Structure 1
Amino acid sequence: MSYVIGVDLGTSAVKTVLVNRSGEVVAEHSESYPLSQPKPGYSEQRPEDWVDATVISLKKLMHVSQAAPESVEGLSFSGQMHGLVLVDGEGAVLRPAILWNDTRTTQQCRRIEQQLQGRLLDIARNRALEGFTLPKLLWVQEQEPDIFAQAVRLLLPKDYVRFRLTGQYAMDYSDAAGTLMLDVAGRSWSKDILDAFNLPEELCPPLVESFQHCGTLLPEIAEQSGLLSSTSVYAGGADNACGALGAGILEEGKTMCSIGTSGVILSFEERRDVDLEGRVHFFNHSEPDAFYVMGVTLAAGYSLDWFKKTFAPGISFQELLSGVEAVPAGSSGLLFTPYIAGERTPHPDAEIRGSFIGMDVSHKLPHFTRAVLEGITFSLRESVELLRASGKDVNTIISIGGGAKNEVWLQMQANIFNAEIVKLASEQGPAMGAAMLAAYGSGWFKSLQACAEEFLQEAVRYTPQPEVVEKYEELFKLYQDVYPQTQSLSAALAKHR
């Protein structure tokens, strides 16, 4: 028996999965690490915590599975996007990583827009948003010039972990597309963007395909992890690109809804010249010469997690959701907007904040819980509508992540999106996508599409219920009114935070 390993480096934990040639997950393990928020709007992590947790998780994975080290043919990565890691000439980290959900860089975003104007969308195909890597790099350039002067290389989170495991620098196209420094259609670092901010191209690592071989494990890492030093390591991809692989989003007409800490609506795109005016993200796929369009809700699962910790800390998620099915669609006149950490799509607004609208004395915990689920899904519906407006047919959506673990929420997605929702038989999300890259890189399949056909099976479909769809159509229009009517209030309250 032979295996591959998928490593999914998330915001709160790293997950490793051991997968056989049939796509069966034989074993899995997760190791968590802390998140630091030293100031409002700041979000940082120690890169070395990622490395330590990854090695521990690999060791425990091998122990639990009892797989022979020589049976593991390769491993690959999925990684949280955009996070800035700066290293010196010896590969030592110069400061904590600035993460995707860090919002300190609004001024740098305005600087990018003023400097590049229309060229930014022409080249990078995305707006300047606080989550991207370039604004973070400019923040360090401006605020920490001594650290910036020592920087020899910038890396994204999974690329730093892979460097520590193999000793080789690289970045794949799907993750590089989220830096705001890549010529997305041209698949190269943009000299125009780098020169505009006096950034040397040598700061950027070599670009590779997601399935490209990037060395083998260093001897000390192999010993610590229980693997062999001959184990092949493949580049990997951005978490959303890997999530798309793990959901089989590999041809035109396929769309995915992924609800984790953030929420994503993602659709395959083979046109490199489609003009979406920056309303949704346009990134390189892990599939060669392909792209995907994507809308993002910054606080999707994070909104539910915040709600539970704040208002129901003494019960489990299962208990919290147990009464939701008895609450009617619309939560008896209660609306929630999930803007608790700002918003990305369709409102690129770091200052907007969330709200409950319509509270009265009749509302109990299940009403608020259902309203949170509905608000998250309404926010994702806005991205669905942008895809539809671009000419895409969004009639079937594969749901993965936390939103695919609850039947009530899956049916809610079908009704709010007015589309069939597919749940996979074994849903591992980005971790499975990473394993698929390792399988393809190891020569198990002739294409990623062939790998998906072998690894992924549909389990159940949820069909829209016409009478509920009609009610949600009315509520969605009300939901869309909340942002413009609370924007000025959020901006005024920002100075009092």
Structure 2
Amino acid sequence: MAQVTADDAVFLAIDAGTGSVRAIAFDQTGAVVARASREWTHRPTPGHPGGADFDTAGGWSLISSAVRQVVGRLGNRQVASIGVSSMREGFVLYDEHGTEIFACPNTDGRARRQAEQLAERGVAARIYELAGDWVSITAPSRLLWLQQERPDVLAAARHLGMLSDWVVYRLTGEFTTDPSCGSSSALFDLAARGWSGELADAIELPRGVLPEVLECGAVAGAVTAEAAVATGLPVGTPVVVGGADTQLALHGIGARGGVPTIVAGTFWQTTFVSDEPLIDPGRRLRTLCGVAPGTWMIEGINFLSGLSMRWFRDAFCPDATSEGGSAYDAMERWASAAPRGSNGLVAVLSNIMQADAWHHAAPAFVGFDINSAEGFDRGTFVRAIEEAAAYVARGHLSILGEVTAGRALAAGEVILTGGSSAGALWPQIIAEATGLTVQTSMAPEATAYGAVRLAAAAVGAALAPVGASGRAVVPSPEAVAEYDAAFENWRAVYLAQLSATQASGIAPLFTPPGGLPYRGES
């Protein structure tokens, strides 16, 4: 194993998220030295409603550009090692020459009919039992779609990898995966932390396309001459297996069993780390492998809670930065003037997770008074968006308490990390809406830091996890009582909007393919 020798060496994280890619260099104290990001979108699949393709050529160009920008800011400092992270579920297929022939992001929903076929055949239930997730946005249904719609592509496939694996491949030319991101394919045997031959056979996937599984933190390879030209990184720089964004965020803050963590980014994940693969008997939450050997994570997902704020920023707050600071800082200042419950305004966005029948309503704001511009200004709408996310997290925490026999809630605390933890108002709303003390993390880039912790360890350096910021938000009993009533109102409005969405045919926020039919109020 290579060893860090230079005092000014840095470690680089490449984090390919749902809405953007980030390249961030950290020094040996864990401080950020340089960063760059590029936002991206995923193009719709022509002729296949709900489908989304991942642009590997364009994506690699954006990644390379961000990395070059960071390298250019380092001066004489050298990158000692690289850790890679990505969104989950998305994957890439390659032909015999290593050329990408198919790629999709996590939001791809083209395989609706195929997911339904897997459910009808009972395969979906077996996948959930072994792999911990439903077939809505995971690889089995998408691979079955390829069998039926693009058999030429599947016939030509010689390698499969998740999106973090694809970044590693672009840097090193090596095909690998890791348990944390690989398990998001729903082709893993969770207990074994490796590929399931049974599940591969169930969808007639040749086992030979599945890459070697390396534990997170293993060195996958080194930067090639071709990748060096694209990125500005030195040839031979070690590239370390990182993994899935949420699990790496948990690694970044040193999360362990006993206290749940909300990882609040584009999507929000309300998580609990365990030393066994806990499978929700109600098929609501999902379970994946953790970063450390012998660890797993069970989670509930807030669908696009962070992106909802970005949408509102872009659509309605073009002037937010005129006050100085970030647009989100200004939006939270406006929202802090609105009362708890947002004057009765309800944001209908993500639903509480039900993995096998996760139906969302059409997005809406319900209950505003057009005769009261003062009571329903932009700040009120921002607060309603933040409250909606907190209500969904509350629902997931309740389920985690049930599945873990109370262990997840015993401490009376929840950790909040990710981009949304940097705000002042959102942690307060979460504390009051859940009744739990919120400990915020000092690492808004927790995923990148988790990847860098692995990269540093692989070359003999040690970066400590980022602990709590010291800012503990303790809810008052009065605030909790107010939000108990507001939560019940949100739930009633959501269910009514969901029924109306189902009856009207209006497009919902998202309909994962292969879910069981809508069963009415639940």
Q: Residues 384, 44 of structure 1: CA spacing in aligned structure 2 closer, same or farther, 3 A cutoff?
A: same
Which residue does the alignment assign to 2:286? 281
2: CA distance, partners of 1:68 / 1:226: 13
2: CA distance, partners of 1:496 / 1:159: 33
The answer to whether 1:416 aligns with 2:427 is no
Which residue does the alignment assign to 1:152? 158
* Deviation (angstroms), 1:393: 3.3
Q: Residues 393, 224 of structure 1: CA spacing in aligned structure 2 closer, same or farther, 3 A cutoff?
A: closer
* Deviation (angstroms), 1:152: 1.5
Deviations 1:63-115 (A, max 9, x none): 2122433xx221111101111312111111113x2211122222222222233
Is the 2:419–2:444 Cα contact (8 Å) retained in structure 1? no
* Deviation (angstroms), 1:351: 5.5
Residue of structure 2 aligned with 1:123, choices 118, 127, 130: 130
Give the partner amino acid of 2:469. E
Which residue does the alignment assign to 1:430? 447
Which residue does the alignment assign to 1:245? 251
Deviations 1:145-176 (A, max 9, x none): 22222111222112112111101000101111
Q: Residues 348, 300 of structure 1: CA spacing in aligned structure 2 closer, same or farther, 3 A cutoff?
A: farther
Q: Residues 337, 345 of structure 1: CA spacing in aligned structure 2 closer, same or farther, 3 A cutoff?
A: farther
Residue of structure 2 aligned with 1:270, choices 268, 271, 275: 275
Give the partner amino acid of 1:73. A
Range that drifts further, 215-224 or 178-187:
215-224
The answer to whether 1:294 aligns with 2:311 is no
Q: Residues 276, 208 of structure 1: CA spacing in aligned structure 2 closer, same or farther, 3 A cutoff?
A: farther
2: CA distance, partners of 1:358 / 1:32: 33
Give the partner amino acid of 2:396. S
Is the 2:272–2:408 Cα contact (8 Å) retained in structure 1? no
Which residue does the alignment assign to 2:205? 199
Is the 2:278–2:298 Cα contact (8 Å) retained in structure 1? no
1: CA distance, partners of 2:385 / 2:117: 35
Q: Residues 147, 117 of structure 1: CA spacing in aligned structure 2 closer, same or farther, 3 A cutoff?
A: closer
1: CA distance, partners of 2:457 / 2:133: 29
Q: Residues 12, 495 of structure 1: CA spacing in aligned structure 2 closer, same or farther, 3 A cutoff?
A: closer
Query: Helix, strand or coil: the match of 1:78?
Result: strand
* Deviation (angstroms), 1:189: 1.4
1: CA distance, partners of 2:392 / 2:41: 28
* Deviation (angstroms), 1:331: 0.5
Which residue does the alignment assign to 1:88? 95
Which residue does the alignment assign to 2:511? none
Is the 1:121–1:277 Cα contact (8 Å) retained in structure 2? no
Query: Helix, strand or coil: the match of 2:287?
Result: strand
The answer to whether 1:217 aligns with 2:223 is yes
Range that drifts further, 391-400 or 84-93:
391-400
* Deviation (angstroms), 1:380: 1.6
The answer to whether 1:167 aligns with 2:184 is no
The answer to whether 1:229 aligns with 2:229 is no
Which residue does the alignment assign to 2:498? 487
Deviations 1:9-44 (A, max 9, x none): 112221112122221222222133343135652322
Which residue does the alignment assign to 2:369? 360
Q: Residues 273, 32 of structure 1: CA spacing in aligned structure 2 closer, same or farther, 3 A cutoff?
A: closer
2: CA distance, partners of 1:213 / 1:269: 26
Which residue does the alignment assign to 2:408? 393
Query: Helix, strand or coil: the match of 1:14?
Result: strand
Is the 1:338–1:379 Cα contact (8 Å) retained in structure 2? no
Query: Helix, strand or coil: the match of 1:94?
Result: strand
Is the 1:50–1:161 Cα contact (8 Å) retained in structure 2? no
1: CA distance, partners of 2:99 / 2:388: 43
Residue of structure 2 aligned with 1:405, choices 403, 422, 429: 422
The gaps in structure 2 that reach 5 residues or longer are 1-6, 322-326, 509-522
Give the partner amino acid of 1:286. V
1: CA distance, partners of 2:42 / 2:254: 31
2: CA distance, partners of 1:480 / 1:181: 34
Which residue does the alignment assign to 2:513? none
2: CA distance, partners of 1:5 / 1:88: 29
2: CA distance, partners of 1:245 / 1:165: 23
Query: Helix, strand or coil: the match of 1:332?
Result: helix
Residue of structure 2 aligned with 1:63, choices 65, 72, 77: 72
Give the partner amino acid of 2:415. I
2: CA distance, partners of 1:388 / 1:15: 34
1: CA distance, partners of 2:199 / 2:295: 23
1: CA distance, partners of 2:300 / 2:230: 39
Is the 1:247–1:256 Cα contact (8 Å) retained in structure 2? no
1: CA distance, partners of 2:418 / 2:260: 14
Residue of structure 1 aligned with 2:330, choices 319, 326, 338: 319
Give the partner amino acid of 1:477. E
Is the 1:23–1:456 Cα contact (8 Å) retained in structure 2? no
Is the 2:440–2:468 Cα contact (8 Å) retained in structure 1? no
Query: Helix, strand or coil: the match of 2:479?
Result: helix
Q: Residues 313, 105 of structure 1: CA spacing in aligned structure 2 closer, same or farther, 3 A cutoff?
A: farther
Which residue does the alignment assign to 1:14? 21
2: CA distance, partners of 1:329 / 1:4: 43
Is the 2:132–2:279 Cα contact (8 Å) retained in structure 1? no
Deviations 1:212-256 (A, max 9, x none): 11011102222443332221111111011111112221x211322
Which residue does the alignment assign to 1:331? 342
1: CA distance, partners of 2:162 / 2:182: 8
* Deviation (angstroms), 1:141: 1.8
Which residue does the alignment assign to 1:464? 475
Q: Residues 126, 33 of structure 1: CA spacing in aligned structure 2 closer, same or farther, 3 A cutoff?
A: closer
* Deviation (angstroms), 1:275: 4.8
Q: Residues 274, 132 of structure 1: CA spacing in aligned structure 2 closer, same or farther, 3 A cutoff?
A: closer
What's the TM-score once normalised by structure 1's chain length? 0.91
Sequence identity (%) = 25
Is the 2:283–2:354 Cα contact (8 Å) retained in structure 1? no
Give the partner amino acid of 1:356. F
Number of aligned residues = 484
